[in-house]
Structure 1
């Protein structure tokens, strides 16, 4: 989910792609936090995160999301602007990542920091922020 006119701009589109490919090749989804946020899904508020995860479960199925790309967003929710930011430094904020990474339903998922590297050590700082 993310850019308005790209394939996978909504969870429903991602689910459709998975469904069409099942039986042809092994397939699963990777959800990107910035793309999700700028597509208009609320992952910032506690209630929004619950609703978004419920929608993911209903469309894609959380078991079909073994990988998450974690990045904050430079742009506002619903803006359709895919601009990654350092963890906790953008419009998503650190608390949303704490909720996501501590959700027991996602205990087997891999969380990958896909953040900008503006200076040496940024990657380590972003991973540390995710672990905090």
Structure 2
């Protein structure tokens, strides 16, 4: 199999246009370092955090463009989105306690389980 260069993949990705800009994801500097191994291209596309959810079609287009390069059998493309410091998604609401389940009382450090005297935790790692 012929050796595939990063430049070949980058050239193919130059045809992928970022929606609404008229410019390629390569010219906009959105494509990370491209890594090629075992006939697969690995790279990520950095997208604005506020538009990350709607960028799946862009990711698929980039994946297809990379797969179109002779010698590339597959592509692993990840979307990444950077948030500015101080921007956080709101925490998901805490679920209400289910009826019949023991709950921890404020100020109490022990959680009781009816009918169980001791709980043993086992971990590996």
Instruction: Tell me whether the two structures share a fold, i.e. TM-score over 0.5.
Output: no
TM-score (norm 1): 0.27
Structure showing greater radius of gyration is 2
Query: Which has the larger share of helix?
Result: 1
Query: Which has the larger share of strand?
Result: 2
Greater relative contact order, per chain length (Cα 8 Å cut-off, separation 6+): 1
